[in-house]
A and B are shown apart, each in its own frame.
Chain A
Amino acid sequence: KAGVTQTPRYLIKTRGQQVTLSCSPISGHRSVSWYQQTPGQGLQFLFEYFSETQRNKGNFPGRFSGRQFSNSRSEMNVSTLELGDSALYLCASSLAAGGPEKLFFGSGTQLSVL
């Protein structure tokens, strides 16, 4: 059974640009969560989607957005990139919404903003 797949693995962007990251959950999983990992702030919750609906959102500005498609694949978008957005972005999937006990994480997308 394939795990959580995140693409691309690495991204380099410049300030002011926008970026889209993709996450394919484990087959049959309907919930997708996104986290940002930085050396200074550690791991922080961005948002969770279930059945194409955003269930909840962490404390991030509106530049960070996401969506989920009918096949449960999810994308997150960051507009008007800032240097501080450089981070590892992790996606996690689970069968049901709000089920942290059953989260499976991908390897992440490493975003560098120059």
Chain B
Amino acid sequence: GDSVTQMEGPVTLSEEAFLTINCTYTATGYPSLFWYVQYPGEGLQLLLKATKADDKGSNKGFEATYRKETTSFHLEKGSVQVSDSAVYFCALSESGGGADGLTFGKGTHLIIQP
């Protein structure tokens, strides 16, 4: 079945540091890929998405590129802020409407220190 693997952390960085959170996936079809963010005490929010190979999703300074050849969708940000502290989830949905819902990674807890 489908699966998503991501570094679990916690990942601790200083403010203004460069961020990379690795995400790799296995899927039988041609999935859409997502990054969700969960702030303390809140539900998940869609951060960015990519629906086909070589697409780049971006939002709030975060970027991720859909790499079919390496089955990866790594999240990057050039300069993190304390407000970026949260749990980040990589997820996939098989094409055709995601009949089995989203498949999530375990989440990466990001801590940004001032």
- Structural contact, A98 and B98, CB atoms closer than 8 A: yes
> Which of A44, A48, A58, A107 sits near B43, CB closer than 8 Å?
A107
CB contacts under 8 Å to A, within B32-71, are 32, 34, 41-46, 49, 51
| Contact status of A48 and B105, CB under 8 A, knowing A4-B43, A90-B44 | no
Q: Which residue of A lies closest to B36 (CB)?
A: A105
By a CB distance below 8 angstroms, the chain A residues around B107 are 42-43
- Structural contact, B101 and A107, CB atoms closer than 8 A: no
A64 within 8 A of B: no
- Structural contact, B101 and A56, CB atoms closer than 8 A: yes
Q: Which residue of B lies closest to A39 (CB)?
A: B106
- Structural contact, B45 and A101, CB atoms closer than 8 A: no
| Contact status of A103 and B89, CB under 8 A, knowing A33-B101, A35-B101, A48-B101 | no
By a CB distance below 8 angstroms, the chain A residues around B96 are 98
By a CB distance below 8 angstroms, the chain B residues around A97 are 97
- Structural contact, B43 and A106, CB atoms closer than 8 A: yes
B85 within 8 A of A: no
- Structural contact, A98 and B97, CB atoms closer than 8 A: yes
Q: Which residue of B lies closest to A46 (CB)?
A: B101
> Can you offer 30 A-B residue contacts whose CB atoms are under 8 A?
A4-B43, A35-B101, A35-B102, A42-B89, A42-B106, A42-B107, A43-B89, A43-B102, A43-B104, A43-B107, A45-B100, A56-B100, A58-B101, A90-B44, A92-B44, A98-B96, A98-B97, A99-B98, A100-B32, A100-B34, A100-B101, A100-B102, A101-B32, A101-B34, A101-B46, A103-B46, A105-B43, A105-B44, A106-B43, A107-B42
